[in-house]
Structure 1
């Protein structure tokens, strides 16, 4: 018999196995996560960063799930599944997490100001550092949408469509302006009892809905007062006034009971976000129901601190949280743009379910859920393009990243001790 020899595979047909590549990628991710974990000071409260990340992601997902751009009559019109399916109101309870963001913001600002004073820094220097991080990404957003608006006008796009797009794209700015104003007022808020702004909201709503008195602009007093409640609560947290689980349970149960009574007995809407066409919005401006609901959320957030700290002890979880915190404003400012870019691009393929169709059925909700990975990918592209506007100039290699340095608890002086 002739001798049989094994022939070597032809190089053209050799395909490397993907398993080693995946293993290498996982190893690289673990190594990077471990570096972030070891660079984080032990004094840093990782639960605060986790709460901020959850608040931002909650707002993003909430907007993507309850905002629809319907293609109709040659233009795009805003709609919401809550208009046609009010039983979906509990979705807004899960994803309307702005109160938690203001809670964390007040806590971090109060501690940061105290730390700056201990270092001998002036209030002006501290405020400039805080506001530059908040407002730096805004310029890029305004510049892009100014160009887009001019192009849309030049191409004959209906004014109603342009108004819809600009309103959605620039809607995050109202939040940023309120947050910046409260940040500037931190020296005053640092000792403010949250009951004072809560009393303002209560009296405004009594005049508006109970007595039907007062001018139309009276409702807008609730815009700063309503968000001042969780912000001042965060400052109280920094002072150590709501550290116990009893305080957290009181906020959770009291806020839940008050919100339930306001919805069932006082006629407040069940949805915690605005619904197009509804006579009353709980969010625009904030109502008493939105504020009490926010208090319940803050109580839940305070109760979850220990669990979040344990979860953030895992390097991968902490690294992901750190990345979200480092680009929190970029993610927040550009998530609506990601939605509109996906919607406009999808029009090239016709009216796509869950993207351009009316949100009037459960099938629309199922289709929108399938679009979430695409929206996430587009947002990641926006983040990659514009994150440097928030993070500023690249740091030198021997400097620790701000993602692990910011908001470290202030060192206590001998006087404080």
Structure 2
């Protein structure tokens, strides 16, 4: 492990901003842990269906504040997208070539998921598995893919939105919510918020790339202002306190994004900016940096297959030991929470197996010939940015 850490350290240019990679890793791992903690697969009369502990244990709502980290991922995405596009222009590369490279890293690993799960669904149906069970499992795997679609669309629009002030998409979200909730208008047009809501942190990331988010004052302003606005919207605006969807609740803060989740995202972005200094100091340690770099090289693989890992453990436990607490039981008490925490290392092992099987799709080169590709963490035009 020390040799591995030294090799990663030696392959990293001195001017790489390691804190950016750490923020991306935190965002991805936050989503993974959040899904594992707030998603239950309950076995009832031979049928498996999804359930959320947030519905039965509202005291767990703060879990959604800790692990709903999508705004941080879009913040880093805006930074990296704007920098990489500027670097491509400086090298004389056209938009098409730049976009193909960016989309390849997103869509190539994602394309494997529907293929594998289409085969798995057919095999389960052929084996006599209940259709409702197959539908619930497939929905659990495919529903998070909306995130990839939105992120890909914003990435493709980077040349258009790179200089867009975040207040413009923020205003769109505010107006849409005013019509939806204040005037009780039909909510079909609310899907506009799917783009506008995540454009806010993405545009913040682009502003960061332009050097406009420097200084701790900006971080504190976003953190305190976003937190205060979110608290006010939940307390007096009628928005749910949970920052993820809860089955049975009329309003979801994520589907589509509401003003509350956008202001919450601003607070997260502020916290991310304030963490840059401490993260840079911590990541001088080769072992810690090696772990962060490894997660970043396989971020999409981890995101795409973490639900499959949980499902695999659930199915294995059901076939081997029957109904197990924290794995197949209703999430309606503290006992379920403790049992689920005990299952997390098992989920991690299953995810490691999925990673070993599918990590090669995240990079075009075979895994055995890959070196640490370091491109996104530096200013545009850096010679070290093209080093492999």
Shorter chain as denominator, the TM-score bin is over 0.9
Query: 1:303 aligns to what?
Result: 274
Given that residues 43 and 409 in structure 1 are in contact (C-alpha distance below 8 angstroms), is that contact kept between their aligned partners in structure 2?
no
Please give the secondary structure, in 1, of the residue aligned with 2:379.
Answer: coil
**Alpha-carbon distance, 1:272 to partner:** 0.5
Q: 1:411 aligns with which of 375, 381, 384?
A: 381
CA RMSD of superposed structures (Å): 1.4
CA distance in 2, matches of 1:412, 1:385: 34
Give the unaligned 5+ runs of structure 1.
1-28
* 1:157 is the counterpart of 2:129: yes
Please give the secondary structure, in 1, of the residue aligned with 2:86.
Answer: helix
Q: 1:83 aligns with which of 51, 55, 71?
A: 55
Rg larger for: 1
Q: 2:209 aligns with which of 223, 229, 238?
A: 238
CA distance in 2, matches of 1:72, 1:192: 50
CA distance in 2, matches of 1:57, 1:401: 20
Equivalent pairs counted in the alignment come to 382
Q: 2:2 aligns with which of 11, 14, 30?
A: 30
* 1:317 is the counterpart of 2:288: yes
Query: 1:12 aligns to what?
Result: none
* 1:336 is the counterpart of 2:297: no
Given that residues 40 and 405 in structure 1 are in contact (C-alpha distance below 8 angstroms), is that contact kept between their aligned partners in structure 2?
no
CA distance in 1, matches of 2:95, 2:39: 40
* 1:268 is the counterpart of 2:239: yes
Taking the TM superposition and a 5 Å limit, the aligned residue runs for 1:393-404 are 393-394=365-366, 400-402=371-373, 404=374
Given that residues 50 and 308 in structure 1 are in contact (C-alpha distance below 8 angstroms), is that contact kept between their aligned partners in structure 2?
yes
Given that residues 343 and 356 in structure 1 are in contact (C-alpha distance below 8 angstroms), is that contact kept between their aligned partners in structure 2?
yes
CA distance in 1, matches of 2:152, 2:213: 24
Does the C-alpha gap of structure 1 residues 321 and 71 become closer, same or farther in structure 2, counting only changes over 3 Å? same
> With structure 2 as the length reference, what TM-score do the two structures score?
0.96
Given that residues 338 and 375 in structure 1 are in contact (C-alpha distance below 8 angstroms), is that contact kept between their aligned partners in structure 2?
yes
Please give the secondary structure, in 1, of the residue aligned with 2:43.
Answer: strand
Given that residues 53 and 332 in structure 2 are in contact (C-alpha distance below 8 angstroms), is that contact kept between their aligned partners in structure 1?
yes
Please give the secondary structure, in 2, of the residue aligned with 1:283.
Answer: coil
CA distance in 2, matches of 1:260, 1:112: 36
Does the C-alpha gap of structure 1 residues 110 and 406 become closer, same or farther in structure 2, counting only changes over 3 Å? closer
Which consecutive aligned stretches of 4+ in structure 1 deviate over 4 angstroms post-superposition? none
Please give the secondary structure, in 1, of the residue aligned with 2:337.
Answer: helix
Q: 1:195 aligns with which of 167, 174, 182?
A: 167
Given that residues 44 and 409 in structure 1 are in contact (C-alpha distance below 8 angstroms), is that contact kept between their aligned partners in structure 2?
no
**Alpha-carbon distance, 1:133 to partner:** 0.5
CA distance in 1, matches of 2:79, 2:338: 38
Given that residues 342 and 378 in structure 1 are in contact (C-alpha distance below 8 angstroms), is that contact kept between their aligned partners in structure 2?
yes
* 1:169 is the counterpart of 2:141: yes
